[in-house]
């Protein structure tokens, strides 16, 4: 297959640009004709170049896809007609081509889940496994409904995660910027006046002048060292599995943020585990797929050990309890769900609990960060004012005496 970048026109005369795999020019024209598009111009392009130009399929696009599929599948519309209607209504060029390829694959005899396997960058293994389970059980519309709700929840969770990381970063940047301004611009002007007074300076004033000198003479190092250190640690974490494990373990323990990230991971695990189990996926397969979802090597290793214990004959509750990375609440809920035969319901309760805990914890952290940053900035300003005004006050006192 060759990659083509094309320009085509739809039935309404609207020009569309996109890319598509095709054997040759004739095959490209045929594929576009099935999408009710007329080829105007095209050229072959290297896959590396194309990867930089592709417009990614976002989570919001997948939410709309699942909602549309659930509505039409639930109404009894055949799969090919549903996909064809969806293809014609999509404005996203890349996603439109993916849906067109799904139609071709299904017409060639593949199941929808098998067709989705050809697009792993859009449909992950968990998504495909759920669709396959829905096809086997005949509950494809229900699976799409659950996927819609889960993707919406995941989108909200991602927004909350960004909120807890971005807010401290933003406020910290402001504090750092103010500190640079004070040390590089304001303090030198004030200390120059103090030195001309000709008196012995106290220690805290000398310390301020010394720190200000460091900022003035080595400002580039103050900026470069943290950036280079961060880049080096990022490279090490990405290339060294042991470093990645230690970093993920540290993230789960770091003050304030660690417990919230732990709850977010457990909420994500419980939600997807419940969804897969309710769709007919086996417990061992649920655990295997959950390892790819949690995005934390410590939790991933714990799930892997739990899967091994279950495969050796232990029950779910005992296995998760022996792993030791899941809190008593999760273990207790698993025990109740396993004994009553409603494991998916128990896990949904775990997800609901942790989701609520995450929201409350983020609000608490945000309310704590603002006064902490205010105290830090106030301490810096107080140090500067004390170091500058102290000698001036001493001089005035001596003059009066």
Domain over 59-152 is classified CATH 1.20.81.30: yes
- Name the one residue in this structure whose structure tokens are 């974490």: 237
User: What pLDDT sits at residue 198?
Assistant: 62
Sheet holding 15-22, edge to edge: 15-22, 2-9, 38-44
User: What pLDDT sits at residue 339?
Assistant: 80
Secondary structure, 3-state, 150-219:
HHHHHHHHHHHHHHHHHHHHHHHHHHHHHHHHHHHHHHHHHHHHHHCCCCCCCHHHHHHHHHHHHHHHCH
One CATH from 1.10.760.10, 1.20.81.30, 3.30.930.10, 3.40.50.720 for 253-361? 1.20.81.30
What pairing do the DSSP bridges indicate for beta strands 38-44 and 2-9?
antiparallel
Residue ranges in the chain whose pLDDT is less than 50? 48-53, 401
User: What pLDDT sits at residue 1?
Assistant: 59
User: What pLDDT sits at residue 53?
Assistant: 45
Indicate whether this model's pTM tops 0.85: no
User: What pLDDT sits at residue 54?
Assistant: 52
User: What pLDDT sits at residue 395?
Assistant: 65
Residue whose C-alpha is closest to residue 142's, from 295, 344, 337 = 344
User: What pLDDT sits at residue 199?
Assistant: 64
Q: Is 294 helix (H, G, I), strand (E, B) or coil?
A: coil
Distance of CA 251 to the CA centre of its chain: 15
Sign of the four-CA dihedral 364, 367, 370, 371: negative
Q: Are both 59-152 and 253-361 of the same fold?
A: yes
**Residue-range domain boundaries for the chain:** 2-45, 59-152, 253-361
């Amino acid at each position: 297959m060759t990659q083509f970048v094309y320009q085509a026109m739809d039935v309404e005369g609207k020009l569309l640009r996109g890319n598509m795999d095709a054997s040759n020019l004739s095959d490209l024209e045929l594929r576009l004709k099935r999408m009710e598009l007329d080829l105007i111009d095209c050229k072959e392009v290297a896959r590396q170049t194309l990867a930089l130009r592709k417009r990614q399929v976002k989570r919001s696009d997948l939410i709309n896809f699942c909602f549309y599929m659930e509505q039409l599948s639930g109404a009894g519309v055949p799969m090919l007609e549903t996909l064809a209607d969806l293809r014609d209504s999509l404005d996203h060029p890349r996603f439109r081509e993916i849906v067109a390829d799904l139609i071709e694959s299904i017409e060639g005899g593949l199941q929808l889940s098998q067709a989705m396997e050809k697009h792993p960058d859009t449909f992950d293994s968990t998504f495909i496994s759920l669709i396959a389970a829905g096809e086997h059980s005949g509950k494809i519309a229900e699976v799409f409904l659950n996927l819609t709700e889960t993707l919406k929840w995941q989108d909200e969770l991602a927004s909350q995660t960004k909120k807890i990381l971005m807010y401290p970063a933003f406020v910290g940047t402001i504090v750092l910027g103010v500190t640079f301004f004070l040390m590089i611009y304001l303090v030198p002007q004030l200390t120059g006046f103090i030195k001309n007074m000709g008196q012995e300076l106290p220690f805290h004033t000398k310390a301020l002048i010394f720190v200000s000198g460091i900022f003035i003479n080595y400002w580039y190092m103050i900026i470069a060292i943290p950036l280079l250190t961060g880049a080096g640690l990022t490279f090490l974490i990405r290339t060294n599995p042991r470093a990645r494990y230690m970093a993920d373990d540290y993230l789960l323990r770091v003050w304030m943020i660690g417990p919230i990230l732990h709850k977010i991971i457990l909420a994500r695990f419980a939600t997807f585990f419940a969804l897969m189990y309710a769709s007919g996926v086996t417990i061992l397969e649920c655990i295997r797929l959950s390892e790819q979802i949690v995005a934390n090597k410590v939790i991933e290793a714990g799930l892997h050990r739990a899967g091994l214990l279950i495969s050796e004959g232990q029950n779910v509750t005992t296995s998760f309890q022996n792993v030791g990375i899941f809190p008593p609440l999760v273990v207790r809920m698993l025990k109740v769900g396993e004994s009553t035969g409603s494991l998916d319901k128990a896990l949904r309760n775990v997800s609901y609990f942790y989701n609520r805990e995450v929201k409350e914890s983020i609000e608490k952290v945000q309310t704590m960060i603002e006064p902490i940053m205010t105290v830090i900035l106030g301490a810096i300003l107080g140090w500067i004012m004390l170091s500058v005004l102290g000698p001036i006050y001493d001089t005035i006192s001596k003059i009066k005496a």
